[in-house]
Amino acid sequence: MDEPARLRPIPHMLPPAAVSRSRRIDTILGRDWRVAIPFVLPIVIIMAGLILWPFINAILLSMTTRNVITRTDQFVGLDNYVRLFRDIDFHNAVGNTFRFTLISVAVKFVVGMGIALLLNSRLPFRNVLTGLMLLPWIVPEVVTALAWLSIYHPIFGGLNPILTQFGLINRPVAWLTEYAMPSVIAVNVWKGIPFYTILLLAGLKAIDREQYEAAEVDGADAVQRFRHITLPGLRYVIIVTLLLSFISTFNTFGLVYLMTGGGPGGATRLYSILAYEKAIISLRLGPGAAVAFSMTPLLFLLIFVLARIMRRDPGANTAEKETLMDRGLGWAGRWLSMVLDLIFWPFERLSQAFGSLFNALIPRDKTGQPRLKRSERERMGVATRVILLLPILIFVLFPFYWIFITSFKGTPQIQQMQSVFWPNPWTTEQYRSLLVDTPFATWFRNTVFVATTSTAISVIFAALAAYALSRLKFLGGGTITTLLLVTYLLPGSLLFIPLYRTLTTLGIINSHWALILTYPTFLMPFATWVMMGYFRSIPVELEEAAMIDGANRLTAFWRITLPLAAPALLSVTLFAFTNAWNEFLFAFVFITSDSLKTLPVGLQLLVFGDIYPWGQMMAASLLMAVPVAVVYIVAQRYLVEGLTAGSVKG
């Protein structure tokens, strides 16, 4: 709707030439461009200075090499990329990355879908079980890595004793040496299950139950109902979830680096780890940037497709505006449907066979009716679902149990493997030693300062930009919205090398400001995307009424719109704080002084060579996870709502 009349200049009060010039400018730049400038300027400056320019700089950097004699960068064109085709380490790293990604995404999808289906059915304490299944998502990456390092340890870990007691192995297994890739994939699956569960569960709740009831009346079994009702109903959610997960998993760095460092012998070296080794460790920024940008075409194709899907209006009639990509996606969908038909055919036959066998085993009366009452059959179904969910629940909760009990064991008990699964006696020795003998308190303060400051900056600027992009008409609004989504999906592995160079040039590398200025690059896009959806749901008439009464646009935003968007504001604040609290890559690369390190990086300093103080590390992991867990428990509803509504629906 137009601005209220009293807010616009009165034409007869201006010279005709000025009126004509003003109208031409408004036609070109948009009706609200003057008002929009202060709202979008901060986020545009940050995006241009800390995302666009470093990205362009990284492309140029990837075409240079360092002259060790003159200590200057020399332009070599595409030579760095050409050398990659002959680099066996690069070939192995790319192969490892694709194996890690494809297997992880496939397993996470299957497990996440199974959990979502179970949680969407009748279960006792369903809300509690849903909360428990989402716990791995809130655990910081470094805590996840340390917990699983402890569990996998061949001597002091908890996995070998369990498998030995069940007779599955007869000797201790060095999991991160003999089975390094499957082991880190298992941890990635554990960490990624909640993401799939949240989004798929939200999609399942949106499917009309009457469709299932009608299909059941027509004789469709469970597999057929899943194939022909559930999968088509989840098509949009599945595509978005898989693409988001593929992009995130493909660019994994911290989890694998913390657990294996890319070893043994490069067995788990991903392309992001190779880029770090070349750029930061070997100080070959050009070749390192070339490694990072070698995967850019694939990532940008995925990001482009995902951005197109996420910005599509489901209610719009696209028949007349069908593009080449739309036809390509439709063609791919038809082929995928044929593949699914082939995959599900044996399962449908198996389901029918089991159904016939189950019906044959049910006792029946003389008329052929089942003797079991409906309530008894429903209880059997609930019991079956609980049994199916139990192994997954154990897999999800065991690391938390292991962290907790190990943190309350004494060092001799850990070293001598006494009472492996229960502290005997209980002691707070590890917590006292951690707080007194290590800089844990300093790392904690650093993390609080960096996370709080970067969150405040990100949320304030995101709220201003989201309001302008959802309410005001100005040139470039649609472009900024698209770039925000692309930036949200842009992996940190593409930016940390040019940002390292930029921060060094500015003289703020190895300072907290290096983190405070760079964290908004991944916090603001998500926060802006979420809040745009909320602002669009608030009636614009409320602001117009305030402006008619004399308020300007900023006052209307501050006093009317922002209070009504409090749930969204809380959601993005908590989500941004959680991500800033857990961030590892930038803190690991940009901070070198021990006194300035944040918790995710500082916890590594507890390790001395090959000596792992497991008790201290588990105590530190528990203390680091507690603030995030408290945030999650207090505002679980807002966090889940923000993730499902903002990051997917926009």
Tally of domains in the chain: 1
User: How far apart, in whole angstroms, are the C-alpha atoms of residue 259 and residue 187?
Assistant: 10
Residue 445, pLDDT above cutoff 90: yes
What are the pLDDT digits (tens) for 350-388?
A: 656 666 655 665 665 566 555 556 666 667 777 878 888
Residue 647, pLDDT above cutoff 60: no
CB count within 10 Å of CB 369 equals 9
358 within domain boundaries? yes
Mean pLDDT of 449-473: 90
CB count within 10 Å of CB 87 equals 18
Cβ neighbors of 382 (< 8 A, separation 6 or more) are 122, 123, 124
What are the pLDDT digits (tens) for 164-174?
A: 888 888 888 99
What are the pLDDT digits (tens) for 471-480?
A: 888 777 777 8
Residue 556, pLDDT above cutoff 60: yes
Mean pLDDT of 11-26: 61
Residue, of 204 and 433, whose pLDDT is higher: 433
Tokens found for residue 56: 């362009």
Residue 146, pLDDT above cutoff 70: yes
568 contacts 531 by C-beta, under 8 angstroms:
yes
Fill in the amino acid letter for 559: R
597 within domain boundaries? no
Determine the pLDDT at residue 374.
61
Determine the pLDDT at residue 315.
47
For the chain, what is the mean pLDDT? 81
Cβ neighbors of 451 (< 8 A, separation 6 or more) are 577, 580, 581
| pTM across the whole model | 0.80
pLDDT-derived band at 439 (thresholds 50, 70, 90) equals very high
Determine the pLDDT at residue 648.
41
569 within domain boundaries? no
Cβ neighbors of 542 (< 8 A, separation 6 or more) are 560, 561, 564
User: How far apart, in whole angstroms, are the C-alpha atoms of residue 7 and residue 9?
Assistant: 7
User: How far apart, in whole angstroms, are the C-alpha atoms of residue 273 and residue 252?
Assistant: 9
Cβ neighbors of 525 (< 8 A, separation 6 or more) are 484, 485, 487, 488
339 within domain boundaries? yes
354 within domain boundaries? yes
User: How far apart, in whole angstroms, are the C-alpha atoms of residue 583 and residue 605?
Assistant: 17
Taking each continuous run of H as one helix and of E as one strand, the counts in the chain are 36, 2
What are the pLDDT digits (tens) for 369-379?
A: 555 566 666 67
Residue 500, pLDDT above cutoff 50: yes
Residue 279, pLDDT above cutoff 50: yes
271 within domain boundaries? no
User: How far apart, in whole angstroms, are the C-alpha atoms of residue 63 and residue 253?
Assistant: 24
Fill in the amino acid letter for 105: V
Residue 182, pLDDT above cutoff 90: yes
Residue, of 53 and 634, whose pLDDT is higher: 53
pLDDT-derived band at 517 (thresholds 50, 70, 90) equals very high
453 within domain boundaries? no
What are the pLDDT digits (tens) for 302-330?
A: 877 776 676 554 444 444 456 665 666 66
Burial classification of residue 248, based on how many CB atoms lie within 10 Å of its CB (0-12 exposed, 13-18 middle, 19 or more buried): middle
CB count within 10 Å of CB 410 equals 18
User: How far apart, in whole angstroms, are the C-alpha atoms of residue 488 and residue 480?
Assistant: 12
294 within domain boundaries? no
Domain span at residue 332? 324-362
Determine the pLDDT at residue 575.
80
